[in-house]
Amino acid sequence: MAADSMVQLVSYLAAQQPYAIVGTPESEWVDFKSVPPGGPYDLSTDKGKFELAKDVAAFSNAGGGLLVCGFKAKKKQTELYEVAEKVTPFGKKLVDSTRYKDIITEYVRPLLKVKFFWYDHPEDDPEASGHYFVIEVPALSEADRWAVVTRGITDDGQFIKNSWTIPIRNGDTTAFLPQDEVYRLLNDGLRARHGADAAVAAPAVDRAEAREALRADLGMQETPVLFFQSIPDHPRGLVPGTYADGGLRDVLGNQDTLRGASAFNWASVHTRPEPREGGLLLTIPARGGLLVDSDGAITGAAAATSDMLGWAMEYYSGDGERRISVFVLTEITLEYFRLVDRHVLPLVHSTWTHRIVASDFAQAPARTLAPGDDPAFPLRGAPQPATSSNWNHSWKALGDPELDAYEALRHIYALFGLDVTTNPFTDGNRVDTAKLLAKRQ
C-alpha cells in the first residue's frame, strides 16, 4: 500500500496503520526521516540545526508538506524517488519539540506556523514499538514568498555568519534558489517599488455583519456577547472540502477539547454544524455558537451570562452587576484558538487577523471582572466594571493557540482596566494550558 496525500498519510498514522505507508514515495509534500541515536535531527550541531531549518523552509516554499520521522526510505533502481521501505518507530525522549520550535523560529524567516504531532505504533506489534513524529509545514502565500534560512553552512557543517539561503523542494530532494534567480527577484522588487507609490497597509476587514448574523441566529440581540473573529487577509474563495469526510464540518462536529463537550468550549452535545451559504453554523443553545463563512472566516460568540462566561458567579454578584469567571473566560478563549489556529487557518494560505469584540458589556447591569482567580467564600478580589459597550480590537494571528489566547485576554482585561498578568493561568506571553488543566482537576 501507499499514501497518496497528506490527509491519507496522517489518517494511517492516526489509525495506527503505519505499515500502510510503506511504499509511499518521497515527493514535494512528504519527506521520510529515519532516526539515529541522537534523534531525527541532531540539534547539538550546526549541521543538524541547518538541516531542520532547511527542510522546513523548503516545504514552505513548495506548497507545504510533512516531515515524517520514523520511516526508513530508500531509492531502488526501478524507482524514480526514494520510497518508505521500513517502519522505525522510536521513543519520545529523542525529540524536544520546544527545542525544534526554537530552532525554526531562530533560523527561518518569515515566522512559520509549524505544527508537531506524535502518533503511536501499534502496541501489539512484536516486531517494533515506539512512536512517529510528524512536522506539518504550512505553505507560504505567493505574496509572502520566499522562506529564507538565515544561515549558510560550510562543507564541514559549520554555520556561516551573515549569510542566508533559500531552499526549494524539487521532487524528493532539496535544492537552493540559484543566485541569478535571487538577483532577478531583488531587482523586480526594486523596480516595483520605484514604479509606484509604496502601498499603505489596509486595515484588517471588520466583518460586523457576521457578528450580527450570528447574534440573530442565537437569539442574543439583547444579551452581552463576547465575539471572537478570525479573518483571512487575502480570501481565496470557497474553502475546499468543507463538507467532505474529514473536512471542516467534521472538525466542528468532533472537536478535540480539553474537556468534554459540555465544558467551556465550542462543541455541542445537542446540535450539529449546519450548512449556511457555503459555510457552516453551529449553535450551542443559551451559551453561544460559531459561524464559518464560505471563505473560511470564522466568528464565535460566547454569552456573558451565567450560562457561559458568568458560570457559577451569580452567587458572588452584587448591586445588579454580573461577574465573569476568570477560569471560564480563559478556557473558552484558549479553546477558540485551539480550534481556529490548528484547524481553520491552515485551510487558507494567507496571513490572518484575529479580533475580539465585547458587545454591551458596560450596559446596566455592567459585566465585571476581578484580578486573580475566581473567588471562594468569603468573596475576595475587587471586581472592575467594563468601561465600554463596543470594545473592538484586532491583531495579526500568531498561529499558536496559547500565544493568541494570551493576546486576546490582554485586550479583554484592558476593557476592565486590568492587566492580563493578573490572570493566574498565564505564563510570560502565553496562556499556560497545564495550569488550566491543573485547575479543573
CATH of the domain at 132: 3.30.950.30
Residues 172 and 215 in one domain: no
What is the arithmetic mean of pLDDT over 261-273?
89
* Residue at which a domain ends, from 130, 161, 179: 179
Q: In whole angstroms, how large is the CA radius of gyration of the chain?
A: 24
Residues 107 and 237 in one domain: no
* 305, part of any domain: yes
* 38, part of any domain: yes
Residues 55 and 146 in one domain: yes
Residues 171 and 218 in one domain: no
Which range has the worst mean pLDDT, 7-11, 47-51, 52-56, 184-188? 184-188
Cell of residue 127, nine digits: 516486531
Q: Tell me what pLDDT residue 196 has.
A: 45
Give the confidence band of 197 by pLDDT, cuts at 50, 70, 90. Answer: very low
Give the confidence band of 321 by pLDDT, cuts at 50, 70, 90. Answer: low
**Helix extents (H) in 299-382:** 326-343
Q: Tell me what pLDDT residue 329 has.
A: 97
Q: Tell me what pLDDT residue 313 has.
A: 81
- Is residue 346 within 8 Å of residue 355, measured between CB atoms? no
Please provide the size of the chain in residues: 441
Ranked by mean pLDDT, the top range of 24-38, 117-131, 337-351 is 117-131
Q: Tell me what pLDDT residue 190 has.
A: 56
269 SS3 class: coil
* 141, part of any domain: yes
With 70 as the cut, is the pLDDT of residue 186 above it? no
Give the confidence band of 198 by pLDDT, cuts at 50, 70, 90. Answer: very low
With 90 as the cut, is the pLDDT of residue 426 above it? yes
Residue type present at position 74: K
Q: Tell me what pLDDT residue 18 has.
A: 96
Q: Tell me what pLDDT residue 199 has.
A: 43
Greater confidence (169 vs 368) lies with: 368
Q: Tell me what pLDDT residue 97 has.
A: 93
Q: Tell me what pLDDT residue 185 has.
A: 66
- Which residues does 306 contact at the CB level (< 8 Å), separation at least 6? 312, 313, 314, 322
- Count the neighbouring beta carbons within 10 Å of the beta carbon of residue 275: 11
Number of domains, the chain: 2
CA 294 to CA 276: how far, in whole Å?
8
With 90 as the cut, is the pLDDT of residue 369 above it? yes
Cell of residue 374, nine digits: 475566581
Q: Tell me what pLDDT residue 379 has.
A: 45
By the 10 Å C-beta count (0-12 exposed, 13-18 middle, 19+ buried), 198 is classed as exposed
* 196, part of any domain: no
Range of the domain at 400: 208-440
Residues 174 and 215 in one domain: no
pLDDT averaged over every residue in the chain: 88
The reported pTM is 0.57
Residues 261 and 366 in one domain: yes
With 70 as the cut, is the pLDDT of residue 319 above it? no
Residues 166 and 235 in one domain: no
With 80 as the cut, is the pLDDT of residue 80 above it? no
* Residue at which a domain ends, from 179, 194, 216: 179
* 190, part of any domain: no
